[in-house]
């Protein structure tokens, strides 16, 4: 059995943790994959890549597979816009939701998937109700023992101490930052620095597309799926005949967050430019993931045609996790959004490690996945 060589480009989401976190996560999941599969898998240390990237090697010695993994970095740009001051975040969120009320096609979004609409709308509601509720409840309890002014002051103190923890547990600040970022990107475009970075990413993928690989995967996750479409347009502007072994893989895609904004003309043009192009797109988005859009065709959001070969699939996480480890429920929404990058309690043909460290191509993995009842 000859060596199978794979190249993976990974474009992550709106996350300031960056490559150190994701390299560690990949290593941990590779160890779990090796235990479950019985295969010997080794992940190298990371080192700087050629163009705002970091690279490492994944060696599956049992299956004779070697994967060159390239992490496309933009966490430095995320860090520049990551809002840490809660008062500033609240102020920016007011502008964000005012713009969403004006420009977001909520009715169409609800027709696509109801869950993401709830995910978009509940953060500002909870950001008001939880602190206010804690103030009122505590003040009413203290009022039985203290003067009204002291009870009110006590309620504000308790709210200040506890509301942040509760909001963080419900992922409210992260979602507010996510929505603010996508609001400014929809209205203004990626910005000069991110535009330059996207050009670099497109050129890197083009440079490796005809390399000594049996498979080339351009993977993206969460907010990275928005920019993946823009990168793909730039690739196709320079090369229309993509090789058959090239696949774009989107995980937990959130394309409608920008595509359904009426003022995001630049992004509509990016998607529309893809409608007559031939490429391979595979999307895995989980129906219970309230931050993702399961079974939503990104190109058909703006066009009535698509020449690409597209598969829109659920990863069916519930089949591969024990009930006690399955990330269900509101308190686990954030973790559920990262299960696309993890290995469950049982191996799936299409979990991320199987796709990037295993012997099967993506098409072979999907064929095996479809046989699972």
- Residue by residue, pLDDT tens for the chain (373 residues) are 789 999 999 999 999 999 999 999 999 999 999 999 999 999 999 999 988 899 999 999 999 999 999 999 999 999 999 999 988 999 999 999 999 999 999 999 888 888 888 888 888 888 888 888 888 888 888 888 888 888 888 878 888 888 888 878 878 898 999 999 999 999 999 999 999 999 999 999 999 999 999 999 999 999 999 999 999 999 999 998 999 999 999 999 999 999 999 999 999 999 999 999 999 999 999 998 888 999 999 999 999 999 999 999 999 999 999 888 777 655 566 788 899 999 999 999 999 999 999 999 999 999 999 999 9
HSE-CB at 28 with a 13 A cutoff on CA atoms is 9
4-78+189-370 folds as Rossmann fold (3.40.50)
Q: Are 216 and 243 contacting, i.e. CB atoms less than 8 angstroms apart? A: yes
Q: What is the pLDDT, as a whole number, of residue 133? A: 86
Q: What is the pLDDT, as a whole number, of residue 113? A: 85
Q: What is the pLDDT, as a whole number, of residue 267? A: 98
Q: What is the pLDDT, as a whole number, of residue 121? A: 85
Q: What is the pLDDT of residues 284-317, one digit of tens each?
A: 999 988 889 999 999 999 999 999 999 999 999 9
Q: Is 367 in a helix, a strand, or coil?
A: helix
14 secondary structure, DSSP code: S
Q: Are 4 and 63 contacting, i.e. CB atoms less than 8 angstroms apart? A: yes
For the chain, residues classed under CATH 3.40.50 are 4-78+189-370
Q: What is the pLDDT, as a whole number, of residue 336? A: 82
CA nearest to 210, candidates 1, 7, 2, 4: 7
Retrieve residue 357's tokens: 């460290």
Q: What is the distance between the alpha carbons of residues 324 and 321, in angstroms, rounded to a whole number?
A: 8
Q: What is the pLDDT, as a whole number, of residue 10? A: 98
Q: Are 220 and 228 contacting, i.e. CB atoms less than 8 angstroms apart? A: yes
Q: What is the pTM of this model?
A: 0.93
Q: What is the pLDDT, as a whole number, of residue 56? A: 98
- Classify residue 38 as exposed, middle or buried by CB count within 10 Å of its CB (0-12, 13-18, 19+): exposed
Q: What is the pLDDT, as a whole number, of residue 332? A: 66
Spacing of C-alpha 371 from chain mean position: 27
Residue 226 is inside which H or E element, if any?
Answer: helix 224-238
Cβ neighbours of residue 282 closer than 8 Å, sequence gap 6 or more? 247, 248, 249, 250, 310, 311, 313, 362, 366
Q: What is the pLDDT, as a whole number, of residue 294? A: 95
- Distance, first Cα to last Cα, the chain: 30
Q: What is the distance between the alpha carbons of residues 33 and 354, in angstroms, rounded to a whole number?
A: 8
């Amino acid at each position: 059995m000859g060596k199978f060589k794979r190249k993976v480009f990974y474009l992550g989401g709106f996350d300031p943790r960056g490559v150190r976190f994701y390299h560690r996560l990949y290593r941990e999941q590779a160890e779990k994959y090796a235990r479950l599969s019985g295969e010997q898998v080794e992940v190298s240390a990371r080192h700087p890549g050629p163009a705002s990237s970091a690279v490492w090697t994944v060696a599956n010695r049992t299956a004779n597979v070697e994967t060159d993994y390239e992490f496309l970095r933009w966490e430095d740009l995320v860090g520049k816009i990551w809002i840490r001051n809660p008062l500033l975040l609240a102020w920016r969120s007011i502008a964000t939701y005012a713009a969403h009320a004006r420009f977001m096609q909520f009715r169409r979004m609800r027709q696509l998937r109801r869950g993401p609409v709830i995910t978009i709308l509940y953060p500002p509601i909870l950001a008001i109700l939880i602190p206010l509720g804690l103030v009122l409840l505590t003040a009413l309890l203290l009022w039985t023992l203290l003067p009204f002014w002291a009870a009110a002051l006590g309620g504000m103190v308790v709210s200040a101490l506890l509301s942040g923890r509760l909001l963080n547990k419900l992922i409210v600040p992260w979602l507010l930052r996510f929505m603010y970022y996508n609001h400014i990107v929809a209205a203004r475009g990626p910005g000069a620095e991110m535009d330059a970075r996207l050009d670099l990413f497109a050129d890197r993928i083009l440079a490796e597309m005809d390399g000594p690989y049996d498979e080339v995967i351009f993977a993206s996750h969460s907010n990275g799926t928005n920019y993946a479409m823009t990168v793909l347009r730039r690739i196709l502007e320079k090369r229309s005949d993509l090789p058959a072994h090239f696949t774009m893989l989107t995980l937990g895609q959130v394309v409608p967050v920008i595509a359904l904004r009426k003022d995001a003309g630049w992004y509509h043009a990016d998607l529309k430019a893809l409608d007559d192009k031939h490429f391979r797109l595979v999307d895995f988005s989980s129906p219970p993931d309230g931050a993702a859009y399961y079974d939503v065709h990104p190109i058909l959001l703006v066009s009535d045609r698509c020449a690409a070969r597209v598969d829109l699939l659920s990863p069916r996480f519930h089949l591969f996790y024990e009930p006690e480890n399955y990330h269900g429920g509101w308190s686990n929404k954030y973790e559920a959004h990262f299960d696309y990058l993890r290995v469950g309690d049982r191996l799936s043909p299409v979990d991320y490690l199987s796709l990037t460290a295993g012997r099967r191509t993506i098409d072979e993995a999907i064929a095996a996945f479809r046989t699972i009842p």
